[in-house]
Amino acid sequence: MVERSDSTALRRLVTDAGGEILLFGITPPRLSTDPGRIREITAATLTRLDSLEVDGLALYDIDDESDRNPAERPFPYLPTLDPAVYHAEYLGEWNRPAVVYRCVGKYSEAQLRTWLQTADAERVLTVFVGASSKDKQVRTRLSQAQALRRDVRPDLLLGGVAITERPDEHLRLIAKQQAGCEYFVSQVIYSCDAAKSMVSDYYYACREEHLEPKPVLFTLSVCGSVKTLAFLKWLGVHVPRWLENSLRHADDTLAESYAHCLATARDLIAFCRRLGLPFGFLVESVSIRKAEIEASVALAGELSGLLDRGRKSG
């Protein structure tokens, strides 16, 4: 594994746009999981990731999003460990940085303040996630959380969520950038055209505003079954109809999805390099099936070979 002395490498990549970033995303174990079993799951995860040349680990904060989508959730919502707690108590052997997500509406300002004050800014970055719908009852609004981070821990690097299919998303990115975001992580991408349109709009809007564009990390997630596909769509991921047809009728859905993710990555790498936009990828698996997790790890390994792994000096 990377030594502690390299714990600030991801921070430099984000702030200096000094290379192309690769993260691997995981969901903490379920809250009901026995501590011994959590340690077993964590050890297996770290073993899988040990040989990967990733710049950091993204730890998701799961929230009930039934308010956003009234349809039945393909996989039931089950509370998971707080990612900050999981990082602090179970990931001591992970010596690379971690991006700790915060669904800010779940927490009071006092809870967020306490976490911000105690987070190790050398080893931890964060992504603030707002409410899943405008009608959802929240304890802290996204704008309040952004202001709190600016007042309490301006040195803790803040990221924002990008939803590539959303109209005028580039304007939201600029507003988040002006509120302190140093990088963006997209929702899962299955429409490459939507991703390219968003980053193109963002890049040229930054140029008009005389702003330096921040790195955009594209999230890729393999899909190994029709049920996983249904879950991605429930989460709001836009899957073009032609691609949905291909996945539904493929002899091997996982292989078809993997090939699509890899083709998307190649397309986005070429596009962002040509545009001059700092970028990277976050590879995740939304399924707990072993085959899909292992395919995600393989995809991250393949992306590592495609990205510029050279680093500018800090």
Structure tokens at 306: 């495609």
Structure tokens at 107: 């927490």
Q: How far, in Å, CA of 195 to CA of 240, rounded?
A: 13
Q: Which residue has the tokens 């690379």?
A: 96
Q: What is the pLDDT of residue 19?
A: 77
- Cβ count near 104 (within 10 Å): 28
Q: What is the pLDDT of residue 313?
A: 40
> How many Cα atoms within 13 Å fall on the side-chain side of residue 84?
20
Q: What is the pLDDT of residue 67?
A: 52
User: What letter would DSSP give residue 5?
Assistant: G
pTM over 0.85: yes
Structure tokens at 17: 């746009």
Helices and strands in the chain, H and E counts: 11, 8
Structure tokens at 231: 């879950």
Q: How far, in Å, CA of 164 to CA of 267, rounded?
A: 15
- Cβ count near 138 (within 10 Å): 16
At residue 259, the 3 state secondary structure works out as: helix
Phi, psi of 118 (to 5 degrees): -100, -15
- Cβ count near 167 (within 10 Å): 8
User: What letter would DSSP give residue 215?
Assistant: P
Q: What is the pLDDT of residue 75?
A: 64
Q: What is the pLDDT of residue 69?
A: 57
Q: How far, in Å, CA of 196 to CA of 208, rounded?
A: 18
At residue 96, the 3 state secondary structure works out as: coil
Contacts of 220 (CB under 8 A, 6+ apart): 188, 189, 261, 264, 265, 281, 282, 283, 284, 299, 303
> Across the chain, which distance is largest between two alpha carbons, in Å?
54
142, 104 in Cβ contact below 8 A? yes
Q: How far, in Å, CA of 211 to CA of 177, rounded?
A: 9
**β-bridge partners, 100:** 59, 126
10-residue stretch averages of pLDDT, the chain, 314 residues long: 58 86 95 96 93 94 67 71 96 95 96 97 95 82 97 97 95 97 97 97 98 97 90 87 96 97 98 97 87 95 91 44
- Cβ count near 268 (within 10 Å): 23
Q: What is the pLDDT of residue 64?
A: 66
182, 15 in Cβ contact below 8 A? yes
User: What letter would DSSP give residue 104?
Assistant: G
Q: How far, in Å, CA of 272 to CA of 280, rounded?
A: 9
- Cβ count near 197 (within 10 Å): 15
Q: What is the pLDDT of residue 65?
A: 58
Write the DSSP assignment of 220-248 as a string of letters: EE---SHHHHHHHHHTT----HHHHHHHH
Closest CA to 14 of 200, 156, 151: 156
